[in-house]
Structure 1
Amino acid sequence: MTQSLVPFATTVKPRRRWRLHLAGLCIGLLAVGASHAESRMWMTVGERRMAVTLADTEAARAFAARLPMTLDMTDLNANEKKFDLAKELPANARRPGTIRNGDLMLYGTSTVVVFYLTFDSQYSYTRLGRVDDPAGLAQALGQGSVKVGFSRQ
């Protein structure tokens, strides 16, 4: 007796095959949604709340594990806000070349930086994340020091 090597998809009735595809799609979307939620945090400046997508780095995971927190960030070079954490984060610095408006970075092992202008840089940073929609970020951060909240919800 020989077995037929007919693919599974052709042995399943069309209606059932459609249900299997739909179930697989739903499971896939749930998995993407869960991983997207895990890679998201929020940054609040005054009344403005912005979604931040976390980078896939050890430093970003360590930063997110400390949330919620509010940092009193000071202005530096009229293009970034910075805050020196009391406890270091794991760093794996790389030179990005171009810093983009909305980049959330770690300078050294303990300086959290939110960039609000795009420019070329020779410095090295560890990526923590990026503001999803940085339009108006410079205006929200303003001049001088500002309190910036970070949270998972």
Structure 2
Amino acid sequence: MDTINGIPAHPLFVHGVVVLVPVAAVMTILGVVWPAARRRLGFLTPLVALVALVMVPLATSAGEALEKRVPHTDAVERHTRLGEQMIYWVGPLFALSVVWWVLHDERAREYLASRLHLSPRGRRIVDIVIGAATVIVALGALVTVYRIGDSGSRAVWQ
């Protein structure tokens, strides 16, 4: 999809990425570090991360189409290279947000406890490892979306 109503689709899809990736990352971090937020956000966190995950390839694909229509510069090349990295952060963000939600959903937690036979200490270790990985990936997604946006702005305005 190159255009929407004659307008390049890339800037339109990018707005979805620029909003949804940080929202999903912040919601995920809140769910890890603040149990009350985790209970309130529930399945909404992985759902927002899923929509962000869908938006990334749309923006990337539309960006590749737009790249063929604009002058090739070092700034455009840098933006393209950085843009291709976003999926490697949003995919794991989505997956980890689902894992974190499942680990803390009461029904899923009971099922997992009966199947995995983890001690309370074992569950705590799993929480720490998955929680740390989730926060690291969420922070990486935030930094990456910023770097891509900055490089895209520079490619347009310089």
The structure with more radius of gyration = 1
Structure with the higher helix share, 1 or 2: 2
Structure with the higher strand share, 1 or 2: 1
Higher RCO (CA 8 Å, separation ≥ 6 residues): 2
TM range (shorter): under 0.3
TM-score normalised over the length of structure 2: 0.27
TM-score normalised over the length of structure 1: 0.28
